[in-house]
Amino acid sequence: MSSNKTEFFTACVTFDFMIQSVGMGILIVFGFTGNILSMICLNRDRSKTATPFLLISLEVADTFFLGFAVLLRVVPSTAIYILYPGEAPSSLNTLLSFCGAYVYPLALVSETTTIYLTLLVTVNRYVSVCKPYEVSRIRSVTHARRYVCLIVLLSFAINLPRFFEYDYISTENSTRSARTSMADNHVYKIVYANSIYCLVMFLVPLTTLIILNHRLIRALREARRKRAQLLNSDTSRSEDDITLVLIVVVLVFVVCQTPALATQILHSFLEDEQKECPMPYYFYERLSDFMVVVNSSLNFTIYCFCSKRFRQILKNLICKVNSEIPMTEITQLDTKIDNGTQTGRKSQM
């Protein structure tokens, strides 16, 4: 029996290393690079509209989340795999305890910010496409900055109790983290850690995004149907591109975040021994975490596949052919909506 347990534990350590160290590590490097390139390209839009600013804010939140994922997932998984079956040095235990007590809450703050910035960008696009005459207030840069600041503050407020779930305890030989009485309180677990958290972090934003995305898809189909009847369709195609980008971003978000909702629900009902290796939840939780990292790493790929103009900006940026591109597809759409007039033919996508 002891031999079987050892084999199971070895398999779990290997699985954990492959998913959380190798897989996540590769994704995080790709995500860091892609997010930085996306921010640079979006920043080349010198317009006074909100869309580029909101997308840059989303990339910043994703990048912070990826950085926290390195400390919370990649480093511990790598250390455990290298040191197994030996014991970790006290310095590593101190680092892991610190991450559990302080970095984990910050990771949740960045994840919450990412979720609600995605929702804000989607609402912004929905108003632009489906309610263009109500667009001026929500699409101004000044108001967008206020909304982003509000989301960051609310993200800290929502996750504030998480900063008090662990005590950082120092002893003569090591430093460790221990759960506080508040974190172990039965009412706290049911009301905040499960009910409120699932509602605020998953059910409300996911449901809203699904509804808005469905309406955006319908609007995009209608726009393409109308464009097919026009001879001059470059401007319409440019407008469709940014809508398509947001639709795909939301679809990826929903697919990647839904397993995390299931993880949270299962975590609430399973006993502690049912969450340990080699129970199915142990493997599912790691795959769920991996999917969340996927969500924060793929926006650059989505921009490249869905936006011809973004590819043109990126090509010029890398090749240093042009130092500045005067107007992106985002600017084209925002200028058309803000002015309420038909713009002329734009540059070839």
**CATH code at position 290:** 1.20.1070.10
pLDDT of residue 11: 85
Instruction: Tell me the C-alpha distance between 135 and 9, whole Å.
Output: 56
**54 in any annotated domain:** yes
Instruction: Tell me the C-alpha distance between 244 and 253, whole Å.
Output: 14
pLDDT of residue 56: 93
Q: Which pairing describes strands 166-170 and 175-179: parallel, antiparallel, or unpaired?
A: antiparallel
Q: Which residues pair with 166 in a beta bridge?
A: 179
Range of the domain at 202: 2-169+180-339
pLDDT of residue 272: 78
**218 in any annotated domain:** yes
pLDDT of residue 163: 92
pLDDT of residue 69: 95
**131 in any annotated domain:** yes
pLDDT of residue 259: 92
pLDDT of residue 98: 81
Instruction: Tell me the C-alpha distance between 330 and 42, whole Å.
Output: 9
**95 in any annotated domain:** yes
Task: List the chain residues with pLDDT less than 50.
Answer: 1, 321-325, 327-331, 333-335, 337, 341-349
Q: Which residues pair with 170 in a beta bridge?
A: 175
- 296: nearest Cα among 51, 125, 70, 15: 70
Render pLDDT for 176-230 as a digit per residue (tens, 0 to 9).
778 888 988 889 988 898 888 889 998 999 999 999 999 888 888 877 777 666 6
- 249: nearest Cα among 87, 18, 52, 55: 55
**236 in any annotated domain:** yes
Render pLDDT for 246-275 as a digit per residue (tens, 0 to 9).
889 999 999 999 998 888 888 877 887 888
pLDDT of residue 343: 46
Domain count across the chain:
1
